[in-house]
Amino acid sequence: MAAPMDSIDHVLARATSGQRINTSPESAATQELQLYEMIFSAVKPMALKAAVLLNIPEIIATRGNGGPLSVEKIAFHIGAANSSSTSNSHVDVGYLYRILRFLASYGVFTEQEEPNQQDDADTKKIKFGLTGISKLLVQGENQQSSGPFLLLIADKVYLEAFQHLHESVLEGCYTFDKAHGMSPWEYLGNNPQFNKIFNEAMASNSRTVMASVAKTYDDGFKSIKTLVDVGGGMGFALSMILKEHSHIRGINLDLPHVIATAPPITGVEHMEGNMLDHIPSADAIMMKWIIHDWGDEECVKLLRRSYEATPANGKVLIVEAIVEKDKEGESMSRRLGLLYDISMMVYTTGGKERTEEEFKRLFQRAGFNSYTIVKLPFLQSLLVLSKA
């Protein structure tokens, strides 16, 4: 039964007339707010997805001359891009404003009120601009937008698999298989549209991370003549390395349905194959975001294949996140690593993120005697494995 309006007004009056609500970290009120923040966290990627699909970051970047735009102007350009008419009458400006306002509250966009604006409507007097976060979603000339990766993570294929997360505990099942009746790799092979979304996401991530790897491990690449990228997708990771080290001959190894759509890349040979069965011989083997896709036994098998494929002085290069063990303060990088880990429970068949100690045990079981960790300016690190 709804409370009478006068009783609601009475409660609000008491709360605003000098009676302060306890918002200390330990208070029940703060804990309830934290809980609701988690409950509604699914709104964040979906609002970001809407912004990317509406091309909002790109519109502000290209139409705002480096500055913010009003909601009305953003709506106009959305309408122009989605209709043969220049009218934006079919764009709901009110809904657009609310999405922008929400994302601005999390620092995705700037929000500022236009001074001396005669119109009282927020959609006209409030302007939204880019921040460091939304600039990461702008395609631009460098083709390094994180938008494709966002669209993959927010795709209904993955979201449906999350509905079965509790069943993984009760049954020991793989949630993706439970949701779709097949493994993620089978699903990619049978669904060209999702395969395209997946490959574009991996390519967008590779452009950023691998450019850093190519520069950070510069001296190491100078002694490598042949490099196999295991599970290399469309070959973009290799292309970033060959851009800096053109003397390397690259081999991009992946499943047939992936190689079938891989574009020609100078210096790169696309090769069909199952990495768990065979890896071609080379001076070095590279795996980016591959180890976390698999359980321990499959990882040991894959690492042994890599060991066999390289000479005595060969290297295996692994790009993965390393989960921090230190729980003190729960740093952002640790939390993000654990977010990745839960995601691997859903996206893969037995995959997980690992601590350094867990990686070390895998390397030792596969026969490697040493490894070094090269920290990258991202969550991921470069792990360099040696036989010596």
Q: How many other C-beta atoms lie within 10 A of the C-beta of residue 159?
A: 15
- Tell me which H or E stretch contains 21: none
The pLDDT assigned to 90 comes to: 81
Mapped onto helix, strand or coil, the DSSP state of residue 120 is coil
Categorize the per-residue pLDDT at 4 as very low, low, confident or very high, splitting at 50, 70 and 90. Answer: very low
Could you count the other beta carbons within 10 Å of the beta carbon of residue 75?
24
CA of residue 59 relative to chain centroid, distance: 22
Q: Cα–Cα–Cα angle for 364, 366, 371, nearest 5°?
A: 50
| Structure confidence by residue, pLDDT tens digits, 19-42 | 555 556 678 888 999 999 999 999
Q: Can 257 be counted among the known catalytic residues?
A: no
Q: Is 296 exposed, middle or buried (0-12, 13-18, 19+ CB in 10 A)?
A: middle
Residue 93 has pLDDT above 60, yes or no: yes
Cα separation, 292 vs 317, in Å, equals: 14
The span from the first CA to the last CA of the chain, in angstroms, equals: 74
pLDDT value of position 22: 59
**pTM of structure:** 0.84
Which amino acid is residue 82, in one-letter code? N
Average pLDDT, the chain: 89
C-beta neighbour count of 357 within 10 angstroms: 10
Output the pLDDT for position 121.
66
Residue in 77, 164, 180, 292 annotated catalytic: 292
Enclosing H/E stretch for 205: helix 192-216
DSSP state letter for 141 = T
pLDDT tens-digit profile of 246-255? 999 999 999 9
More confident call, 140 vs 25: 140
Mean pLDDT of the region 301-312: 97
